[in-house]
Chains A and B, each alone.
Chain A
Amino acid sequence: MYWISVLIFLPLSGALIIALTSRFSVNCVRWLALAITVGELLIALSLWWSASPDSNGYLYLVQAPWIPIMGIQFLLGMDGLSLLLVLLTALLVPIAILVSWNSIRHNWPAYAALLLATQAGIMGVFLALDLILFYVFWELMLVPMYFLIALWGHERRLYAAYKFFLFTVTGSLLMLVAILGLYFIHGEQTGVYTFSYFDLLHTNLSDGIGMWLMLGFFVAFAVKIPLFPIHSWLPDAHTEAPTAGSIILAGLLLKTGAYGLLRFCLPLFPEASVDFAPFAMALGVIGILYGALLALVQEDMKRLIAYSSISHLGFVVFGIYAWNQEGLHGAMLLMLAHGVTTSAMFAIVGMLEERVGTRLLPRMGGLLSPMPRLGAMLLLFTLSAMGMPGLANFVGEFLVLAGVYQVSIGLAIAGVIGIVASAIYLLWMYQRAMLGEISSDHAWNDLDHREMLILGLLAITVLWLGLYPAPFLDYLQAPASVIIESNTATLAGTEDAFRRPD
């Protein structure tokens, strides 16, 4: 049971050890960090192994008092959705370390410590069920990420880091206000002042207040996702971050936003969310088309992938607010798929940049001939990103659109156009980078063993998610039906949709 707190404290203590003992050699730090994250992955896998898929609600729950006077607990819980996102986190962080193996040249101890601290924060976000605890982890993952971008990024790293920080902090402060508002309203109603998720689920909110509190949460999550008008931090942050930073940003940080919507926004404020759903879906569809169009005219490969992330996360929001069986399953699965696919694409761009020395598409071309393995891998993940059946993203996108279709045909058509658009910009990117006549006769090395290991792991995951997603979908059944119940409870006017799992 207590293993899920180990998931948070293992990387945290690893980060402290690496940061405080400056005696290790660079090599030693790299291996130590890798060992810690691989240990983390093993723990996550064994948790997956020992969890029984048909148990209701939460697979694991940890509860300990923290600041009882204010009703703050150390409350962690893992349901199917958390489990899969924890697995994704545990998979991507060792990959981020492997990707940085040679490309980070200075101050490895600090780098590794920050990476591990970010992992601890993300794990905490996916597991925390006490709202203050959640807020603490939410900020904890932000600060090391800021330093990762600001210290090891590319040319305009400081600008990007500030922008990232300002956008996110503004959002999360609004969330803090909303958390406190919810806390006091619940306290006044019941006399029990608590930040526990399960207790707050029963809060009765009047329409106006519920909408405002929901918006506080929504803005914080929408910044992270990111939705259309507040997306502008993302291309800069993704482009300027080091490769590992981009992987963590795109693969994990964006998912925390969508996770927040699923875990907090919808269940805590079902009435307000139902009212808000059309607007959220409109934002989602704008994000899909806007991201797809802008990705077409980008010249920086990382920027292109960043805009494609906006487009894909639009599908996730789409599925979440479609609020039915297919939509929610699809959104959750698409979160996993996008995490793996986009991370792999960022990793490949990083590898290309190490070799060719540029990320600009006009200065590439014909790279398939010197680097066939890299080209094949890029093709695989590109295809996955544009929703090729049999690869990861397809199942998610298909389910999302099947769900959205039941809500609104027009939106489904717009989403389908987004998929066509994704084929246009991704193939155009692939052609400009890989096909055509090679521009220089420089001898480039193809992928080495370390890089093949990274991409091979991700490729297996992508194929697995695409060809046999049933094991993952099994775990999503329970969380999805809880959220759907909250909607039907809203419609039916009953309040008792949530029962404390024990």
Chain B
Amino acid sequence: MSQLLWLIPGAPMLSALIIALLGGLLQRRHLAILATCAAAIAFLVVLLTWLAGAATSQPLQQTLYTWIAVGNWNPTIGFTLDRLALVMVSVVSGIGLLIHIYSITFMAEDNDQRRYYFFLNLFLAGMLILVLADNLLLLYLGWELVGLCSFALIGFWYREPMRASAGRKAFVTTRIGDMSLALGIFLLYSQFNDLSLSYLLANATAQWETGSQLATLTALLILGGAIGKSAQLPLQVWLPDAMAGPSPVSALIHAATMVTAGVYLIARTYPLFELAPHVQWSVAAIGTLTIVYGASAALAQNDFKRVLAYSTISQVGYMFLALGCGAYALALFHLVTHAFFKSLLFLAAGTVIHFSGNEHNIHNLGRLDNHSPLVRWTFLIGAASLAGFPLITAGFYSKEAILTATWSAPAGPLLWAFAAFGVLLTAVYIFRVYFIVFQGSRSNASTPSAPGSMTWPLLILALLSLIGGFVEFPVGWLAPHQWSVWLEDEFRLTVHPPLEIAYSLQFITSLLTLIGIGLALVLVRREQAGHYLTKIIFLRTGWGFDALYQTMLIQPYFSLARLLKATDALLIEGILHKMTHACLLLASACRRGVEHGVLDKSIAGLLAGFRFGYARLSATQNGLLSRYALMISMGAVFLLSYWLW
């Protein structure tokens, strides 16, 4: 079975290669089918590994070849499939396949499908490499590759400068995080002279003491990388703008997979974080802050997709919170359910926007009134799951588990309070959107019917958003806890608060969700009366981070560059050229001083003497060759005789 591992990232990679090289020979439709088949192959191989018992066996491994060979360091292109990777691979390839299918219709009208499918397949390959990599260097390759594809797909409609800039912003912002990760890799390399993940983690745990400086620094640097990719505070600014890309891309990259790469990275290197408790706590703190940040900013958005973007930031915050509390399995659980309901929401939103002539404003969409019931219902399911509607949705189970686990962490009740406030806000903002867009909607004859390739992914994801949570019931319930039991080998077990506290926590959060939905109804009434939430500029601009960075970082950077350009010109023109010029000036000034100055008269005589000598000497330069020759020979004779004497 492990011989087939390469095929998981290999199939989309090969397909991307074919599209890049031979795509010009294929028809548009065939391109889409080729790309989808590649995604399907990857998904099938993942299914095969499940069937072959990867879920219970030892990790599968495959090494392709030695990538770099320097001294005794030989990082390879090699893959490892353990349970953590298995979860991620299943989500990535599964959602990836659905998004490919959805794209067939969504992008059917576009002229640039070759570029689209190239980058989509390349993204899938990159993400799968990231997840399967058995060493940090290969992981970094996948990490950058997904960043590139995200850049290219955000700016897919590059003719609008705003979209192209959004892509660039995403790339540069995440790159700042990536560099922190790179520094972390350098640190690990200089300490252990190897980057293989299993070796690193084993040796780090063995050699470093808990709370030691090196461990703290490493964990911090890795955290920096995770923050950039997962759009957490303070590097979250790129994600809302990333919505400039096509909706399927937002669903795949900016909701389900790439933004959760940071979560995966921390889960993968969790022993390092356990060695640095302060950093681990700050993971939780960042997560909590981001939950409130994302949820509050999502409240005041008018753009359909921006709401979902801020919602993603906030939801990934929950995963960070879980990671920070040591509940890795639960973070992974929320990652999976979030992938289901958030990509469902994006696809539904994409369908609405697609059939309403590319209208993004939710108020305008609400006035259109002709959304198909299928989309309405699937969106409702997604929204309920996101809000954590009790008992029947997957989101409820995953979020509940995280909140309960938070309580026992250091400063747990505080974190819990923020996170619970986030739950309330989540219910408010998502149902605000739902009510505004779909409330007045009546199905009538003019409803455009979406074709099968668009509806099937919606239906499958809706189903998963409902039943996906039944693998892990909340603490204290007489129901299975398969998820955490299954992942027990990978991570340590989560610590839970006493049962009575757990029950009351569960009750409070469920209540908060319901209150939130009610509040949303009230708010929508007020908005329809003209009290728009978007008037709160602080929230609408995402707490003003963009403006802050603009004045604090970007403008100074550009000014510095311009200043240097000016000084560079000064260096050349100013120093070299001015030096020559100054010499000339000095010379002419001296000459003037000599000729017209006080010394004029005393020097005049000398000058006359020179003039006289010059005139006499000049006479000898008569141009007659024989006279010159005579002088030369006379000189020679004179010198010779002097020397011989």
Contact = CB atoms under 8 A, between A and B. Distances in A.
A470 B179 contact: no
Given A329-B70, A389-B141, A395-B68, A412 B168 contact: no
A101 interface: no
Contacts of B160: 436-437
A13 B144 CA distance: 48
Interface residues of B, number: 50
Interface string A370-406: 0010001001000100001110000100110110011
A427 B182 contact: no
A379 B186 CA distance: 27
Contacts of A325: 70-71
Nearest to A436: B161
B190 A406 contact: yes
Contacts of B141: 389-390
B235 to A, nearest CB: 12
Contact of A402 (B171, B190, B565, B568): B190
B223 to A, nearest CB: 16
A416 B158 CA distance: 29
A262 to B, nearest CB: 16
A219 interface: no
Interface stretch (B334-342, B484-492, B555-563, B580-588): B555-563
Contacts of B176: 420
B183 A326 contact: no
Interface of B: 20, 65-71, 73, 115, 137, 140-141, 143-145, 148, 151-152, 155, 158-161, 164-165, 168, 171-172, 175-176, 179, 182-183, 185-187, 189-190, 557-558, 560-562, 564-565, 568, 571-572, 576
Contacts of B158: 368, 434-436
A338 B375 CA distance: 51
> Which 7 A-B residue pairs are closest in the complex by CB-CB distance?
A389-B141, A435-B164, A435-B158, A405-B186, A293-B561, A416-B179, A325-B71
B182 A416 contact: yes
Contact of B140 (A389, A428, A468): A389
A395 B138 CA distance: 11
Most chain B CB within 10 A, of A389, A398, A399, is at A389
A334 interface: no
B78 to A, nearest CB: 14
A138 B190 CA distance: 38
Given A369-B159, A412-B183, A419-B179, A405 B561 contact: no
Given A390-B145, A427-B168, A293 B140 contact: no
A283 interface: no
A48 interface: no
Contacts of B186: 401-402, 405, 412
A478 to B, nearest CB: 12
A477 B72 CA distance: 11
Interface in A411-470: 412-413, 416-417, 419-420, 423-424, 427-428, 431, 434-438, 467-470
Query: Interface size bucket, A side?
Result: 35 or more
Contacts of A417: 179
Most A CB atoms within 10 A — which of B68, B165, B562, B576?
Answer: B68
A372 B112 CA distance: 10
Interface of A: 229, 232, 290, 293-294, 296-298, 325-326, 329, 366, 368-369, 372, 376, 379, 383, 388-390, 395, 398-399, 401-402, 405-406, 412-413, 416-417, 419-420, 423-424, 427-428, 431, 434-438, 467-470, 473-474, 477
Given A326-B70, A431-B165, A437-B159, 10 more contacts: A293-B564, A294-B568, A389-B141, A405-B187, A416-B183, A427-B151, A431-B161, A438-B159, A470-B67, A470-B69
Contacts of A388: 144-145, 148
A468 B73 CA distance: 15
A486 B187 CA distance: 26
Contacts of B161: 431, 435-437
B68 A294 contact: no
A343 to B, nearest CB: 22
A36 to B, nearest CB: 31
Tell which of B144, B152, B182, B565 has the most Cβ of chain A within 10 Å: B182
Contacts of A406: 190
A470 B175 contact: no
A423 B171 contact: yes
Nearest to A401: B186
A210 B562 CA distance: 40
Nearest to B138: A389
Given A417-B179, A423-B172, A297 B67 contact: no
Contacts of B561: 293-294, 296-297
Nearest to A405: B186
Contacts of A232: 568, 571-572, 576
A329 B74 CA distance: 13
A413 B224 CA distance: 14
A419 to B, nearest CB: 6
Nearest to B571: A232
Given A293-B560, A416-B183, A420-B175, A470 B66 contact: yes
Contacts of A229: 571
Contacts of B143: 389
Contacts of A412: 183, 186
Contacts of A368: 158
Contact of B145 (A329, A389, A399): A389
Contacts of B144: 388-390
Contacts of A293: 557, 560-561, 564
19 contacts: A296-B561, A297-B558, A325-B70, A389-B145, A398-B182, A405-B183, A405-B186, A417-B179, A420-B172, A420-B175, A420-B176, A427-B172, A431-B161, A434-B158, A436-B161, A468-B65, A469-B67, A470-B69, A477-B71
Contacts of A416: 179, 182-183
A273 to B, nearest CB: 21
A406 B183 CA distance: 11
A323 B73 CA distance: 17
Contacts of A366: 159
